[in-house]
Amino acid sequence: MSYCYCILLRKASRRVTSLYDDALAPIGVNLAQFSLLRNIQRAEPISLTDLGQRTELDRSTVSRNVKVLEKMELVVMVSGQDQRESAVELSAKGRQVLRDGAPLWDGVQTAIEAKLGDKASAQLTALLQAL
């Protein structure tokens, strides 16, 4: 029997995303938003173009997602190094969401690793990084 890797990965991705979304729900963000906040934190202030490259998303998608975070008061737009482009950084509320969310995110990581076991977790990491 032949399996479609794309379908299997997409199904697994939806299931795993749901685990993180459920865990992060009490702090009012989903996995995509939490991940974007973490990427902003690691390089702030960061231009939308650089954030898109970092997250492997096109600039228009990043811009839409950042606008949502801005409406949630989790980020603020600031002047970038290049005056032609804005940059984004975390607000105090965004920093608090990351602090509150870290143990929730860690809990999902731990649960997945416990379900898979150490060897399979390491293999999964290696396989996904190889793609």
pTM, entire model: 0.90
Using one digit for the tens of pLDDT, what is the confidence trace for 47-89? Answer: 999 999 999 999 899 999 999 999 999 999 998 676 777 899 9
Domains of the chain, start order: 8-130 (1.10.10.10)
Q: 82 or 124, which is more confident?
A: 124
In sequence order, the 6+-apart residues with CB closer than 8 A to the CB of 8 are: none
Residue corresponding to tokens 């998303």: 57
State the Cα torsion 6-9-13-15 to the nearest 10°. 120
Answer whether residue 130 shows pLDDT above 80.
yes
Distance between CA atoms of residues 47 and 78, nearest Å: 9
Sequence-separated contacts (24+) of 11-20 with Cβ below 8 Å: 16/112, 19/108, 19/111, 19/112, 20/105, 20/108
Answer whether residue 16 shows pLDDT above 90.
yes
Q: Which pLDDT score is estimated for 1?
A: 67
